[in-house]
Chains A and B, each alone.
Chain A
Amino acid sequence: EVQLVQSGAEVKKPGESLKISCKGSGYSFTTYWIGWVRQMPGKGLDWMGIIYSGDSDTRYSPSFQGQVTISADKSISTAYLQWSSLKASDTAMYYCARLVSSCCHPFDFWGQGTLVTVSS
């Protein structure tokens, strides 16, 4: 069974750093891409970026380039999303999701989401 299990909810202060994770199982992690999708409170879905853990090829949406860092450790089938300095506007649910390739495939399996709350 394909599973993407994300790390737990986080409460942080503005300016703090954060790294959340997404662990894949039930499939060959290194032959699929993992993407990150933001959902701000009461809002829609925002495509942030994707990574191929096989060679760490990473693509970012222009809206998120420079704002976050996406990485992966293929030895433990885990992808990461990190911030160096959080802002209140980073408060959102963050989902990881699997896709077959960087182009031309949808997100076919999703993690359960990680809620990030940034508040002073």
Chain B
Amino acid sequence: EIVLTQSPGTLSLSPGERATLSCRASQSVTSSYLAWYQQKPGQAPRLLIYGASSRATGIPDRFSGSGSGTDFTLTISRLEPEDFAVYYCQQYGNSPGTFGQGTKLEIK
């Protein structure tokens, strides 16, 4: 099973700043089958990015994903108040489709 490690555990930033979240895999992720999800308190996760860099339907272009192999990044170019949440990466090229432990993005 592929283990995903996200860093940092918590990221404290202010609205308008740029956020960079990292996801590292214990082995190469098949064909960049890597997704990012956003979860707000009391809500289900929401798909943001799939295929490492493709935005899901309705996701603002301030969200972008990059990377390949074992290292992936989610970037939020200019933080809006509604972006403060927990973010999870997931690889879905190998079964089981494992998740990272999450990065909490909090308001500084």
Q: Which residues of A contact B (CB under 8 A)?
A: 35, 37, 44-47, 49, 59-63, 95, 97, 99, 102-113
Contact = CB atoms under 8 A, between A and B. Distances in A.
Interface in B41-78: 44-47, 50, 56
Contact of A46 (B30, B56, B99): B99
Interface of B: 1, 30-31, 33, 35, 37, 44-47, 50, 56, 88, 90, 92-93, 95-102
A101 B101 CA distance: 24
A110 B92 contact: no
Contacts of B37: 45, 107
Contacts of B100: 44
A59 B94 CA distance: 12
B95 A102 contact: yes
Given A47-B96, A102-B95, A106-B50, 10 more contacts: A49-B96, A59-B95, A61-B95, A62-B96, A97-B45, A104-B30, A104-B93, A106-B92, A110-B44, A112-B44
B101 A44 contact: yes
Contacts of B31: 104
B96 A103 contact: no
Contact of B1 (A59, A60, A62, A99): A62
Contacts of A99: 92
A28 B15 CA distance: 40
Report the 6 A-B pairs with minimum CB-CB distance, sorted nearest first. Answer: A106-B35, A61-B96, A110-B44, A45-B99, A106-B50, A47-B96
A102 B1 CA distance: 16
A111 B44 contact: yes
A36 to B, nearest CB: 11
A117 to B, nearest CB: 16
B44 A106 contact: no
Contact of B92 (A45, A61, A104): A104
